[in-house]
Amino acid sequence: MKGVHVAVRGPLAAYASDAARSRGRLYAEAPSPTRSEFQRDRDRIIHCTAFRRLAHKTQVFVPLDGDHFRTRLTHTIEVGQIARALARALRVDEDLAEAVALAHDLGHTPFGHAGEGALEACMAPYGGFDHNAQALRVVTLLERRYARYDGLDLTWETLEGIVKHNGPLLPAARDEHPFPHPEERAKLASRRTRESAESEAHGSSSFETPPSISGLPEIDIQIRKSGKPDLRAAPQDEEPAAGVAGIRPLSRYIAAFNAIFPLDLSTFASVEAQAAAQADDIAYIGHDIDDGLRAELFSLDDIARTPFIAGVLAHVRDEYPGLERARVIHELVRRVITAFVEDSIGESLRRLARVSPASADEARRAGEALVRLSPPMAEAERDIKAFLFANMYRHEKVMGVWERARDAISRLFPAFFENPELMPAEWAAQAVALEDADRAVVVADYIAGMTDRYALNEVKRVFGGEAAGRP
């Protein structure tokens, strides 16, 4: 159709990440003859245990029975779909954008934000809890599937996206380490991969002995001696306003992993990872409007108090007078998502044209996020988030359920911390002989990995009483 732009797959832009020139993996592996490195990452994430558990983890706790409200898994799938759409329009690697999108919530606790808040409070004396750092722990340590290593052995680019998709974690002056420049590390990783492939072809293996990151005790000691826990970083769930805005302590595990496999924490992530982060915001705005309306936590007229929604809703009603409520809701949500996606594409292309990065690394070093909404749509997004915060996340029905969810985790954590033998044998064996801070991390790993249902059953097992279908 004349005048209509169709986002077809074409040559990648100069600023796209190149799977054939990935900076490599922590453990060198021979390349796949059928899949790119980022496709392999995507597939490993989809097949991991933590990904499957997302099906039984709350997204936003809606206090109604029903099978059609979003879970962490359906949210994640929606994020992946939008991330691919953005990546294709921006001419960057869709597989990398999807991999980051699919992994971005692997570190979330049961019971949504209520559960995370409860676990953060429990972990406050022991270094805190951060779901992005927990996602890194999942894909580098806690998934134990492969013969040669713990974790999924994802590429540098996917790990970077998991950790930094919301922006840099360190000011540039503080991101110093005795490791080669990224280009040199890429050459080294490429050479090791070639050597591994040649060795496999000759029936032998030249894989180096994998570095030990289980617990990272010696790295933790180095970090404490160097004072790195005092480094400051941007809030994980907030958008940096300019470079590094707002500050928070750098996660101990991210700092430890960065000492072994530097992730360039002072730069922005790739354009693909930024697309995944933008997709996350767009997805949850759309589906939270949908779930909130279907749960009757607020009405169409209520949400129409936000100017942007009022305009979209007016168009739907003008085009389809007398349309049944369920179809009105769907039309509203699909148009909201489309408007945000198309605006993000337009604004991001303008930013990329202005900065004109000649490589993926130049895009990382641009000093600003390149995948963004235009100022008017960013204001509309803030209005919608404010409405949802007041009318959905703080709705009395939701808050009542969240309080009971918090209570479940707030009871389980001290019980397992004081008596590690209450955990399954493999977890108890890790925790029982550890000092307090390290024991707390093991308990947090165990609880963060639970589904909602499993957590409720653990409350019943440990404390007795009836197990509820919902807390």
Tokens of 180: 């080669």
User: Which pTM does this prediction carry?
Assistant: 0.84
Structure confidence at residue 67 as a pLDDT band (50, 70, 90) = low
Specify the pLDDT at position 7: 58
* Residue 411 and residue 388 in contact, taking contact as beta carbons nearer than 8 Å: no
Distance CA 165, CA 170 (A): 13
Q: How far apart are CA 46 and CA 3, in angstroms?
A: 38
- 140 touches 253 (CB < 8 A): no
Q: Which residue did the predictor score with more confidence, 401 or 159?
A: 159
Angle at 128 between CA 419 and CA 372, to 5 degrees: 140
Measured distance CA(332)–CA(254) in Å, rounded: 40
Using the predicted structure, report yes or no on whether residue 424 has a pLDDT greater than 60: yes
Q: Name the most confidently modeled range: 190-204, 208-222, 378-392.
A: 378-392
Judged against a pLDDT cut of 60, whether residue 222 lies above it is answered with no
**Mean pLDDT calculated for residue range 191-218:** 44
Distance of CA 357 to the CA centre of its chain: 25
pLDDT number for residue 204: 39
Q: Does 249 have pLDDT greater than 80?
A: no
pLDDT of residue 200: 46
Does the pLDDT at position 210 exceed 50?
no
Residue 247 — pLDDT band, cuts 50, 70, 90? very low
- How many percent of the chain have pLDDT more than 90? 69
CA 274 – CA 282 distance, rounded (Å): 13
Please determine, for residue 221, whether its predicted confidence score (pLDDT) is greater than 50: no
CB neighbour list of residue 343: distance below 8 Å, 6 or more residues apart: 373, 374, 377
Q: Which amino acid makes up residue 46?
A: I
Higher-pLDDT residue of 242, 71: 71
Q: Please give the Cα distance from 212 to 220 (Å, whole number).
A: 12
Q: What is the pLDDT of residue 466?
A: 53
Give CA separation, 470 vs 58, 63, 211, 401, 455, in Å: 11, 8, 42, 8, 10
Residue 94 has pLDDT above 70, yes or no: yes
